[in-house]
Structure 1
Amino acid sequence: MALASSTLSAPQSGPGAARSDEDLAPGDIAVGVVIGRASEYFDFFVFGIASVLVFPQVFFPFVDRLSGTLYAFLIFALAFVVRPVGTLIGMSIQRHFGRSTKLTAALFLLGCSTVGMGLLPGHAEAGSTAIVLLALCRVGQGLALGGSWDGLPSLLALNAPPHRRGWYAMLGQLGAPLGFSVASGVFLYVFSSLEAKDFLSWGWRFPFYTAFAINVVALFARLRLVVTHEYEKRMEEHELDPAYLRELLPAQGQHIVIGAFAALASYALFHLVTVFPLSWIALYGDQGIEDFMKMELLGAFFGAAAMPMSGLIADQIGRRSYLGALAVAIGVFALFAPLMLGGGKPGQAAFILVGFVLLGLSYGQAAGSVTSNFLPHFRYTGAALTADMAWLLGAAFAPVVALFLSSRFGLVSLSLYLLSGVVGTLVALRVNKKLQAAAVVQD
């Protein structure tokens, strides 16, 4: 993909000038954003896949497979519950010690939490202690992800050419299909290469160990930007610094809620085409896990290919109108989702491929769709908390709720869950439009 070559500001002149701002073009920021987000998604998808293939047998062998998967999905949700807390802790660290210290600590915690999961004993060796340790590691992942907010997506959006903001907004989201592809690929290789006994004994741990190496690469890619003079200068110019919650909430707290609900349809779809279908196939499907994981890998490539299209289209019709149209499309998909996922291999393939395309098109523009509503000095913290709330409301409990309801009332529950996200998005976009119109009248 060709990235715009425009720079953030004109370079300084003179023999004693500092590094030129040309060294921090939007393309440079985009690389840091994509690599950083891909590493975070990898860590989270490794846990999500293991919640289906590993954790029910290793940590919850005392219950049936369905109950074990539901318990694992509850632990999966913990990271999203504590993520806002991690954001606030990270903001405090940044005020006292700087962005680079915060980012290093957050990614170190993320890597250690993920690797720590691979070192845990199972229930057979440690009993309930193993479950507690797994939950603590998951909480560590959530705190780390919240603390790793670096402001790069906001900086990228603010410095992108006005007519290409949808394109640059998409780049940060591209980390999702990339992270899922790598996590699924690693798990698929290990799962298909080993006997079931060896996989559940030691093979499943390998993807968790891989996470640390990936996080180290991501850390250096992001620090390369964060520690530069140009980055700090631009963050200061845009007032992208932590704001105190006691000031943000009374002044513009409503925009956090609106922003979270505006992305609800996309975030609800997120885990319902990645993690949930794998659990459904493992429990009730008539095809092998390997074949289905290969189909999900193909779907991830479809989703990655659809994301650039989201940027191009959004730049033509506007991001908020685009999100509304995609919410309606997700609603149509929701109506046919039970027929597809319950329709054997052809229907399941259609569910994955169509679902991932819709995910790529919608998720590519879901982040920061109303971030511009925040005043400059609230934008850094507001954008972070908006993303946290979108994950919590839309995606955190999606796998456990969808699996629980579908196992008892059928796949029609999946339709209702997705449709609730669609309604949330459309209402939020409508409210946001009215608030903007009122602001224009007042001006």
Structure 2
Amino acid sequence: MAEPATSPAALRKVVVASLIGTTIEWYDFFLYGTAAALVFNQLFFPKADPLTGTLLAFATYALGFVARPLGGFVFGHFGDRLGRKKLLMLSLMLMGGATVLIGLLPTYGQVGALAPALLIVLRLVQGFAVGGEWGGAVLIVSEHGDARRRGFWTSWPQAGVALGNLAAAAVLAIMAATLSEAEFLDWGWRVPFLLSVVLIGVGWYVRSTVEESPVFRDAQARQPAASAPILEAIRTRPGGLLVGAGLRVAENIGYYVITTFSITYLTTEVGASRQLALQALMIGAAVQAVCIPLFGALSDRVGRRPVYALGAAGTAVWAFAFFRLLDTGATPAIVTAVVVGLVFHAAMYGPQAAFLSELFPTRIRYSAVSLAYQGTSIFAGSLAPIIAVALLQATGSATPVAIYVAAAGAISVLAALVARETRGRSHAELDGPG
């Protein structure tokens, strides 16, 4: 059966809308991580010593990841039954609302223990929302695009993640550069969170103009929706779920060590300025945003497996050079460490959306990719900054952190090697048995 056709103009519209919406939602999510490394340890956990305060701040940061699988489960269930678009609109509103409220929170000095408690609740809402965001954003592009260039088209929502991180770091860097330390801690940190009011409006408008996935509509017309998509995914595609989870390990751990833990390491251990750490992160995120679509396109030509394995292996090896370069304290070395690390990450993240979505049939795809993607985040991304800080506290050295990242890289290389190659397969083929 021929796949539903999407015009080039309609496909571009879907890609742009998905990119903008994803950028906005991940701006909100990453803003918290950057703020946790810079200010939350002082404003919400002020009675602890600096590293312990940071550890507590990262613990609340990790709760967002714990909520992500629940969001993926709920959004995936209804996304497979009701469609991709409705759930994307809901996730945007939940994420933006929680982010704005974080910007309005009282601090520990104002209300005591109530402040971190409220911070935890809002972080859980953020995690729940972003847990449903990723699957819907990449699938609505994947299911509009053609098989020949699916890696390229689905890499654009992935680039939105890098752009969201870039935007979060940039806004915080501007505030930090233009305000005194006291002003930044008093009110300046709130401004980036409150900006989400504007971003919600922009995201709602662009996503409201997008049509529902034609592949989903066609599948619904041919076969009733699964009553419990997540259970069907576990029963019928356990291998795909395990491979998807394995692919995520190095990508998730490596990314949050580079983009979150490194800020703490640079400012507390190396003695670098907060401004330098944010500038390095901004440069790295900008380069990464360009590289993600390039690696996505490369996976359309040579396959998902070799491109992904390259990124995972590179992440494992670069982890050791990464901290050696940071330890120099020199600006060129720090920027190089972050940029190269994020380029290797882009080699995994570029083909990842197509790779994971191609492991599952349409009727359970939203639930399955969300489980593989978000479930891994509990043990990978959420714990990465916490484990890294704990290793640093226990040993006084970053070498154990590098070994931790390298072990994650080895797991993802293995997953890429045992995965089946899915490049160029039509949705009709993907919906078949196997």
TM-score by length of 1: 0.87
SS of equivalent residue, structure 1 residue 275: helix
Correspondence list, 1:188-337, <5 A? 188-225=173-210, 228=211, 231=212, 233-238=214-219, 244=228, 245-337=230-322
- The alignment status of 1:430 with 2:417, answered yes or no, reads yes
Could you tell me which amino acid in structure 2 is paired with residue 426 of structure 1? V
- The alignment status of 1:60 with 2:45, answered yes or no, reads yes
Other-structure match for 1:406:
392
In 1: Cα distance, 2:82 partner to 2:417 partner: 41
Could you tell me which amino acid in structure 1 is paired with residue 415 of structure 2? A
SS of equivalent residue, structure 2 residue 259: coil
Which structure has more RCO (C-alpha within 8 Å, separation ≥ 6)? 2
Could you tell me which amino acid in structure 1 is paired with residue 373 of structure 2? A
Other-structure match for 1:16:
none
After TM superposition, give the deviation of residue 213 of structure 1 in Å.
1.7
Could you tell me which amino acid in structure 1 is paired with residue 117 of structure 2? V
| CA offset digits 1:337-367 (Å, max 9, x no partner) | 2312222214322211211222223222223
CA contact (8 A) 1:337 1:414 kept: no
SS of equivalent residue, structure 1 residue 174: helix
SS of equivalent residue, structure 1 residue 395: coil
2:169 to 162, 169, 184: 184
1:420 to 404, 407, 410: 407
In 1: Cα distance, 2:42 partner to 2:363 partner: 49
In 2: Cα distance, 1:220 partner to 1:22 partner: 21
After TM superposition, give the deviation of residue 298 of structure 1 in Å.
1.4
Q: 1:27 to 1:402 in 2, by over 3 A?
A: same
SS of equivalent residue, structure 1 residue 373: coil
| CA offset digits 1:240-299 (Å, max 9, x no partner) | 967613322222233222202113222221112111111111211232211221222112
- The alignment status of 1:394 with 2:375, answered yes or no, reads no
In 2: Cα distance, 1:174 partner to 1:30 partner: 11
CA contact (8 A) 1:36 1:218 kept: yes
Correspondence list, 1:378-389, <5 A? 378-389=364-375
Deviates more, 1:96-105 or 1:314-323: 96-105
CA contact (8 A) 1:262 1:369 kept: no
SS of equivalent residue, structure 2 residue 351: coil
CA contact (8 A) 2:72 2:370 kept: yes
Q: 1:331 to 1:100 in 2, by over 3 A?
A: closer
Could you tell me which amino acid in structure 2 is paired with residue 364 of structure 1? G
After TM superposition, give the deviation of residue 59 of structure 1 in Å.
0.5
Could you tell me which amino acid in structure 2 is paired with residue 398 of structure 1? A
SS of equivalent residue, structure 2 residue 380: helix
Other-structure match for 1:353:
339
In 1: Cα distance, 2:403 partner to 2:334 partner: 19
Deviates more, 1:257-266 or 1:66-75: 257-266
- The alignment status of 1:173 with 2:154, answered yes or no, reads no
Other-structure match for 2:131:
146
Other-structure match for 2:17:
32
Deviates more, 1:56-65 or 1:335-344: 335-344
Uncovered stretches (5+) of structure 1, i.e. residues with no partner: 1-7, 11-20
After TM superposition, give the deviation of residue 431 of structure 1 in Å.
3.4
Q: 1:234 to 1:36 in 2, by over 3 A?
A: same
Uncovered stretches (5+) of structure 2, i.e. residues with no partner: 423-429
In 2: Cα distance, 1:272 partner to 1:242 partner: 38
CA contact (8 A) 1:109 1:140 kept: yes
After TM superposition, give the deviation of residue 24 of structure 1 in Å.
6.2
In 2: Cα distance, 1:411 partner to 1:85 partner: 33
After TM superposition, give the deviation of residue 325 of structure 1 in Å.
1.8
Q: 1:242 to 1:71 in 2, by over 3 A?
A: farther
Q: 1:258 to 1:52 in 2, by over 3 A?
A: same
| CA offset digits 1:177-232 (Å, max 9, x no partner) | 2111111111111111111111111111001101232122112212211xx3xx25
- Structure number with greater Rg is 1
After TM superposition, give the deviation of residue 163 of structure 1 in Å.
3.0
After TM superposition, give the deviation of residue 33 of structure 1 in Å.
1.6
After TM superposition, give the deviation of residue 331 of structure 1 in Å.
1.7
Q: 1:126 to 1:298 in 2, by over 3 A?
A: same
In 2: Cα distance, 1:92 partner to 1:311 partner: 27
Could you tell me which amino acid in structure 1 is paired with residue 329 of structure 2? G
Correspondence list, 1:77-96, <5 A? 77-91=62-76
In 1: Cα distance, 2:420 partner to 2:81 partner: 38
SS of equivalent residue, structure 1 residue 396: coil
CA contact (8 A) 1:110 1:145 kept: yes
1:122 to 107, 110, 115: 107
- The alignment status of 1:374 with 2:352, answered yes or no, reads no
| CA offset digits 1:142-165 (Å, max 9, x no partner) | 111223456342242344333322
Other-structure match for 1:364:
350
CA contact (8 A) 1:102 1:147 kept: yes
SS of equivalent residue, structure 1 residue 342: helix
What's the % identity of the aligned pairs? 27
| CA offset digits 1:39-62 (Å, max 9, x no partner) | 111011110111021111100110
SS of equivalent residue, structure 1 residue 151: helix
| CA offset digits 1:19-39 (Å, max 9, x no partner) | xx5486321221122112111
In 2: Cα distance, 1:224 partner to 1:191 partner: 36
How many residues end up aligned between the 2 structures?
418
SS of equivalent residue, structure 2 residue 346: helix
Other-structure match for 1:4:
none
Q: 1:159 to 1:401 in 2, by over 3 A?
A: same
In 2: Cα distance, 1:96 partner to 1:181 partner: 34
Could you tell me which amino acid in structure 2 is paired with residue 237 of structure 1? D
Could you tell me which amino acid in structure 2 is paired with residue 405 of structure 1? L
Q: 1:100 to 1:337 in 2, by over 3 A?
A: closer
Task: Quote the RMSD (CA, aligned, Å).
Answer: 2.7
Q: 1:23 to 1:357 in 2, by over 3 A?
A: closer
Other-structure match for 2:147:
162
Could you tell me which amino acid in structure 1 is paired with residue 256 of structure 2? H
